[in-house]
Amino acid sequence: MALIARNIDTGGVIADRVAVAATRATRRTGLLNHASLPEGEALWIVPCRGVHTFRMRFPIDVIALDEAGTVIDRVTHLRPWRIRLPRRGTAGALELPAGWLDRTGTALGHRIEFSTR
């Protein structure tokens, strides 16, 4: 089931096709089988504290959210073969196309809400 991710603070939609990686297998695979991440698509990894881009073929933007959906960490253009270490209080990570956080104005402290399509 795909979700929609909205930035409550800006009122904008961050992604309208959010896949969820909530099992051990889907979290382990993540975006590894993708050649790219098109605009509008995202991957919500939960639970998740930190991410890596080992064996990925493209850069991504990543936000770490706490239990309330508040952005507590933000990384743009995380290139392949990198690690973003866990941040205290992280409940999940949302992976987005590179450059998307700047385009949508998503900043630290903003609140993200997920809903069904």
This prediction's pTM = 0.93
- Cα 50 to Cα 90: distance, rounded to the nearest angstrom: 8
| Predicted local confidence at residue 110, as pLDDT | 98
3-116 — its CATH code? Answer: 2.60.120.1140
| Predicted local confidence at residue 1, as pLDDT | 66
- Cα 67 to Cα 21: distance, rounded to the nearest angstrom: 16
- Cα 33 to Cα 13: distance, rounded to the nearest angstrom: 25
For the chain, which residues make up each domain, given as ranges? Answer: 3-116
Average pLDDT score over the chain: 93
Which residue ranges in the chain fall short of pLDDT 50? none
